[in-house]
């Protein structure tokens, strides 16, 4: 059956695959025929994701790695086969007002949200781990790029930095026929967003701001990522794809 979004025959790396968007992306990619290499810091949760991958006959792999450590990124890349796709999804956030910023927290978010995906991209290219006509997808956010919100200054600036890097990498890597794009979610119901401990009243008030009257689900973002990984987007690079239920209109 014709399916332009098929990932059959493709080998794809997904970072931050132990929960949320990364976990769902890995599972959905496996349903469409991809061979997955998944990575994350939490070994137990990563095992759960691995167990939920479809296509057990494929050579799926799980690699525990802390991408905030550059040596761990190099180790990860050394263990990889040549890839057809990479999803730079690992990320963290912490809501803090400007007057309470701590240098340690700034460095932590930048290390995981910015430095890690940039270095991973560098090593993938340097070690020739990306096939010709492959795709690299970065999970950014509407925050810091299209909208701003109180308390999210650190997180938003990390995601704005990634959005900028995507455009540069799309230009540079086009000579190697590697496409680079980003997805920009609105509020998505994941363990990370639930950690913000919003009251039900706050959640209900926020939902009212969305034209489609709901928050996103991890699968909403995963399917957008799959589009950018698939041959359906073969003429798409340097693009920022908003998946936000109309919030930023």
Q: Give tens-digit pLDDT for 35-44.
A: 999 999 999 9
Contact 49, 246 (CB under 8 A): no
If you ran DSSP here, which 8-state letter would residue 214 be given? S
CA–CA distance, 88 with 115 (Å, rounded to integer): 11
Query: What is 11-243's CATH topology?
Result: Rossmann fold (3.40.50)
pLDDT of the residue at 190: 83
CA atoms within 13 A on the CB side of 189: 12
Pairing type for strands 11-14 and 35-40 reads: parallel
pLDDT of residue 197: 67
> Helices 153-173 and 103-110 meet at what angle, rounded to 10?
30
pLDDT tens by residue, 60-105: 999 999 999 999 999 999 999 999 999 999 999 999 999 999 999 9
Per-residue pLDDT, 192: 66
Question: Is residue 227 annotated as part of the catalytic site, yes or no?
Answer: no
User: Which one, of 214, 209, 93, lies nearest residue 151 by Cα?
Assistant: 93
- Considering the candidates 2, 101, 110, 155, report the single residue annotated as catalytic: 155
Q: Which residues contact 44 (CB under 8 A, 6 or more apart)?
A: none
Strand order in the sheet with 35-40: 61-64, 35-40, 11-14, 83-88, 130-139, 179-185, 240-243
pLDDT at 196: 63
Segments in the chain below pLDDT 70: 192-197
The pLDDT assigned to 138 comes to 99
Interstrand relation of 61-64 and 83-88 (parallel, antiparallel or unpaired): unpaired
């Amino acid at each position: 059956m014709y399916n332009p979004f098929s990932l059959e025959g493709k080998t794809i790396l997904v970072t931050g695959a132990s929960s949320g968007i990364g976990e769902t992306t890995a599972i959905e990619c496996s349903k469409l025929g991809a061979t997955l290499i998944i990575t994350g810091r939490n070994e137990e949760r990563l095992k759960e994701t691995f167990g939920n991958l479809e296509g057990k006959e494929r050579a799926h792999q799980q690699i525990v790695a802390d991408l905030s450590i550059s040596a761990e990124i190099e180790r990860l890349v050394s263990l990889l086969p040549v890839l057809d796709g990479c999803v730079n999804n690992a990320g963290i956030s912490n809501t803090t007002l400007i007057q309470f910023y701590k240098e340690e927290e700034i460095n932590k978010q930048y290390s995981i949200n910015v430095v890690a995906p940039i270095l991973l991209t560098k090593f993938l290219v340097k070690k020739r781990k990306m096939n010709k006509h492959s795709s690299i997808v970065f999970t950014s956010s509407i925050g810091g790029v299209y909208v701003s919100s109180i308390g999210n200054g650190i997180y938003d600036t990390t995601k704005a930095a990634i959005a900028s890097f995507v455009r540069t990498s799309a230009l540079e890597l086009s000579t190697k026929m590697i496409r680079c794009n980003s997805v920009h979610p609105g509020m998505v119901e994941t363990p990370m967003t639930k950690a913000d401990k919003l009251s039900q009243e706050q959640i209900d008030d926020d939902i009212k701001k969305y034209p489609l009257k709901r928050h996103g689900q991890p699968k909403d973002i995963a399917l957008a990522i799959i589009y950018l990984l698939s041959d359906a987007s073969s003429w798409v690079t340097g693009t920022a794809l908003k998946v936000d239920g109309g919030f930023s209109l």
